[in-house]
Amino acid sequence: MTVHVRVRVGKEHYALPVENVLEIADLGEISPVPGSGSAILGVRNLRGQVLPVFELAAILGLDSQTRPVKLLVAEAGGRRAGLAIDEVTDVGSLSAPSSHDPDSAFLTGSVIEGDQLVGLIDVAPLFAALEERAVR
């Protein structure tokens, strides 16, 4: 079984494969990027590395009532970015994903954990879409 990092974004729950997660940090000070889209919060200097920071709620089309407070640093295909989230809820194995097609190109499926539906995020297509939006 693959180990996942489970996160909360607004009222929704998601999980990312642990091999795509480099670290979790406080959101910290974000410098805005003029002319950037609504999903990009800006850039953050994280121990000398300038990291683009995206609001995961905006990427997934969720209404977020509060400002995210945590930064999940993810990596896939040589790309690295920060995803602003509300909290990390768990790290561990998940039950087998459902076989239905997900509603989003960024999800590989979903699982029921306890009483929560957890969407499984596919980091590579998520980063590819973010890069495509940034180029436009």
- Which range of residues forms the domain containing residue 102? 3-135
pLDDT by residue for the chain (136 residues), tens only, comes to 689 999 999 999 999 999 999 999 999 999 999 988 778 999 999 989 999 999 999 999 888 778 899 999 999 988 999 999 999 999 999 887 765 666 778 998 899 988 999 999 999 999 988 877 654 4
Q: What is the pLDDT of residue 99?
A: 59
Q: CATH code at 49?
A: 2.40.50.180
> What's the per-residue H, E or C state across the chain?
CCEEEEEEECCEEEEEEHHHEEEEEECCCCECCCCCCCCEEEEEEECCEEEEEEEHHHHCCCCCCCCCCEEEEEEECCEEEEEEECEEEEEEECCCCCCCCCCCCCEEEEEEECCEEEEEECHHHHHHHHHHHHHC
Domain count, the chain: 1
Q: What is the mean pLDDT of the chain?
A: 89
Q: What percent of the chain has pLDDT over 90?
A: 61
